[in-house]
Amino acid sequence: MEENKQNWSESEIEEIKERILTALESVIDPELGIDIVNLGLIYEVDFEQSGNAVIKMTLTTMGCPLADVLTDQIQSALHEIPEVNNVEVKLVWYPAWTTDKMSRYARIALGIR
């Protein structure tokens, strides 16, 4: 694919968003040792024709000191996707994160039923 293509089809955009989500699985929460996707911290992935990726995510707690660390790791992970020119991470607090948002894998790994 061309690097700065401006006219991706809907199916191409969906495929890029899937690759973004897969890349986000490499971002591990240092406190819990589980990736941010399986923890349920990623609320939305958007990819624009301009090559901008917008990640809406939350943290396990509002005062979490790891926001900058996770944001840096997200930037690094998405740098590997050639279609992505810019990454914007937006922290959102609604809906509030709960353990219900975690994947089955994360719940088992952390011993949560």
Q: Is residue 26 part of a domain?
A: yes
- What digits encode the pLDDT tens for the residues 30-80? 989 999 999 999 999 999 999 999 999 999 888 888 889 999 999 999 999
Distance between CA atoms of residues 47 and 57, nearest Å: 15
Residue 112 lies in a domain: no
Compute φ and ψ for 88, nearest 5 degrees. Answer: -120, 125
| CATH at 24 | 3.30.300.130
Domain presence at residue 113: no
Q: Is residue 79 part of a domain?
A: yes
Return d(Cα 75, Cα 58) in angstroms, integer: 16
Flag whether 31 is in a domain. yes
**Residue 33 belongs to what domain range?**
10-101
Question: What is the domain count for the chain?
Answer: 1
The percentage of the chain sitting over the pLDDT mark of 90, rounded to a whole number, equals 81
- pTM of the full structure: 0.89
Q: What is the DSSP letter of 95?
A: S
